[in-house]
């Protein structure tokens, strides 16, 4: 609606407004209120959507909505049933817990979307009441559309991307989170067998130390600890070496700056999975590196000392992969550091080391804080490096037992292995996913909302 009209409505003497009949009807029949007051097209659109929604519920969604309250995810197992009339065994499709859950989630999303639409309809009707009471005229459809592409441009701008998000991120996310509360594993694979709700059992298994079915806690803590150690070292080695390299190239009097930069940045051009597979072959027990050294060093498979050597190798290879990116980013920012601050430090007699720690580092850390956080979270989820180099290995039954985790596994690679194993355990994998999600979300929410980039959002405008 128009800004001017709204202002009129607000300025109108505050007589006691009565909810009009049209608005009351629109509670039950979305769009009716608009149509009764001349907004034919808008009202018709609301009505049509409502009709489509009702049709969807009765033909398809309703069943799945009921399922959510039934407490189980299907009862009929697929199999063969004797058919007396025909005198043969007939194949019966049976229920599929997986699909039931998926469609239920989809239906909930559709219902939620409709509720939002309904609320918009009611709100619009109240606004119309106000407007008419103030003597305004309801905006025509073409006026509405015009507003949509002007003051409310954010609606058409955000809508298509958000529909994509809803289908390809939110729905799968909700779905996989729900799996964490079921017993979906190798013994409960639909359509052959069904799975059902088990409450918090999986979380209990994950966080308890006792043996038996559960008792993942010891393994979980080991993997979690390594995940953090890895993320810390991966982030900061890349950052420091990249920064130092950028400083070396940017140093006064160094010739061929462009050449040096290109030399390192070329590495980015080769896709990561290629360089990682290549590195894995180079570091292989029979690989080219060992051949050249004339020794057999198990770079990626040595189990001794908590798999220290593979862990170091991974971090080193990651430096090789990551430094060019940091270089690319840092060299631009370094040039922005005001020359005066260096000059002042030099006149005060600061040594190069002091200048680095007192001038360069604080500036860089201040400016690149958001980048560092993104990198840290990205490294917690860095699947490719670990998976392609060691595959999470070497396997070590002493420390990791039957939990399917291995020595260099991060939470994500452990999760992946649990779902692609001979005996997949989707439920436990989902628990890990929820944990990763919580850790990363908390970390980044705190960090982002504290960093200057968010606070001083409008600094440059």
Please answer whether residues 411 and 387 qualify as being in contact, where contact means their C-beta atoms are separated by less than 8 angstroms.
no
The least distance separating other proteins from the CB of residue 332, rounded to whole angstroms, comes to: 4
49 vs 444, beta carbon nearer other proteins: 444
The least distance separating other proteins from the CB of residue 321, rounded to whole angstroms, comes to: 10
The least distance separating other proteins from the CB of residue 204, rounded to whole angstroms, comes to: 21
The least distance separating other proteins from the CB of residue 365, rounded to whole angstroms, comes to: 10
399 vs 448, beta carbon nearer other proteins: 448
The least distance separating other proteins from the CB of residue 81, rounded to whole angstroms, comes to: 26
108 vs 267, beta carbon nearer other proteins: 267
Which residue stretches of 134-216 are H helix? 141-148, 154-165, 171-179, 201-207
50 vs 227, beta carbon nearer other proteins: 227
The least distance separating other proteins from the CB of residue 273, rounded to whole angstroms, comes to: 6
CB-based contacts of 241, cutoff 8 Å, min separation 6 = 319, 323, 326
The least distance separating other proteins from the CB of residue 459, rounded to whole angstroms, comes to: 8
d(CA 408, CA 387): 9
229 vs 266, beta carbon nearer other proteins: 266
55 vs 155, beta carbon nearer other proteins: 155
d(CA 417, CA 400): 13
Please answer whether residues 334 and 246 qualify as being in contact, where contact means their C-beta atoms are separated by less than 8 angstroms.
yes
d(CA 196, CA 183): 6
d(CA 249, CA 254): 7
CA-nearest of 156, 152, 130, 121 to 49 is 121
The least distance separating other proteins from the CB of residue 141, rounded to whole angstroms, comes to: 17
Rg of the chain over all Cα atoms, to the nearest angstrom: 31
The least distance separating other proteins from the CB of residue 251, rounded to whole angstroms, comes to: 6
99 vs 133, beta carbon nearer other proteins: 99
In degrees and rounded to multiples of 5, residue 359 shows phi and psi of -110, -60
DSSP annotation string for 67-100:
HHHHSSS--PPPEEEEETTTTEEEEE----HHHH
197 vs 260, beta carbon nearer other proteins: 260
d(CA 174, CA 437): 12
d(CA 318, CA 235): 9
140 vs 381, beta carbon nearer other proteins: 381
**Whether the bond into 394 is cis, omega within 30 of 0:** yes
End-to-end CA distance of the chain: 29
The least distance separating other proteins from the CB of residue 153, rounded to whole angstroms, comes to: 4
> What are the residues facing 80 on neighbouring strands?
91
DSSP annotation string for 395-422:
--HHHHTTSS--TT--HHHHHHHHHHSS
44 vs 189, beta carbon nearer other proteins: 189
């Amino acid at each position: 609606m128009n800004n001017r009209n709204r202002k009129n409505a607000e300025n109108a003497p505050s007589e006691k407004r009565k909810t009009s009949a049209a608005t009351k009807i629109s509670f039950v029949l979305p769009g009716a209120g608009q149509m009764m007051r001349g907004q034919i097209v808008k009202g018709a659109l609301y009505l049509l959507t409502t009709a489509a929604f009702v049709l969807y519920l009765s033909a398809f969604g309703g069943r799945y909505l009921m399922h959510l309250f039934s407490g189980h995810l299907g009862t009929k197992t697929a199999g063969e049933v004797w058919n007396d009339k025909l005198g043969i065994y007939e194949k019966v499709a049976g229920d599929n817990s997986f699909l039931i859950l998926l469609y239920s989630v989809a239906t909930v999303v559709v219902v939620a979307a409709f509720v939002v639409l309904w609320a918009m309809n009611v709100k619009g009707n109240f606004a119309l009441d106000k407007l008419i009471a103030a003597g305004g005229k309801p905006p025509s459809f073409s006026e509405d559309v015009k507003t949509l592409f002007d003051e409310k441009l954010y609606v058409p701008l955000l809508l298509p991307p958000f529909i994509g998000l809803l289908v390809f991120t939110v729905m799968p996310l909700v779905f996989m989170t729900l799996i964490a509360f079921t017993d979906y594993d190798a013994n409960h694979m639909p359509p052959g067998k069904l799975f059902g709700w088990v409450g918090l059992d999986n979380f209990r298994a994950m966080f308890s130390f006792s043996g038996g079915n559960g008792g993942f806690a010891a393994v979980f803590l080991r993997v979690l600890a390594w995940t953090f150690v890895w993320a810390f070292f991966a982030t900061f080695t890349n950052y420091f070496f990249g920064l130092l390299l950028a400083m070396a190239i940017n140093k006064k009097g160094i010739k061929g700056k462009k050449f040096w930069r290109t030399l390192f940045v070329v590495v980015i051009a080769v896709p990561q999975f290629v360089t990682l597979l290549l590195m894995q072959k180079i570091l292989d027990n029979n690989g080219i590196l060992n051949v050249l050294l004339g020794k057999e060093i198990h770079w990626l498979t040595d189990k001794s000392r908590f798999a220290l050597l593979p862990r170091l190798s991974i971090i080193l290879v990651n430096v090789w992969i990551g430094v060019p990116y940091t270089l690319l980013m840092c060299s631009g920012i370094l040039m922005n550091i005001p020359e005066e601050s260096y000059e002042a430090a030099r006149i005060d007699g600061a040594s190069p080391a002091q200048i680095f720690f007192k001038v360069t580092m604080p500036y860089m850390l201040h400016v690149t804080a958001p980048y560092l956080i993104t990198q840290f979270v990205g490294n917690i989820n860095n699947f490719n490096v670990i998976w392609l180099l060691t595959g999470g290995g070497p396997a070590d039954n002493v420390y990791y037992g039957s939990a399917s985790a291995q020595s260099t596994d991060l939470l994500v690679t452990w999760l992946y292995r649990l779902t692609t194993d001979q005996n997949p355990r989707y439920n436990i994998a989902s628990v890990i996913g929820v944990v990763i999600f919580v850790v990363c979300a908390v970390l980044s929410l705190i960090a982002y909302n504290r960093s200057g980039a968010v606070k001083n959002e409008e600094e440059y405008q």
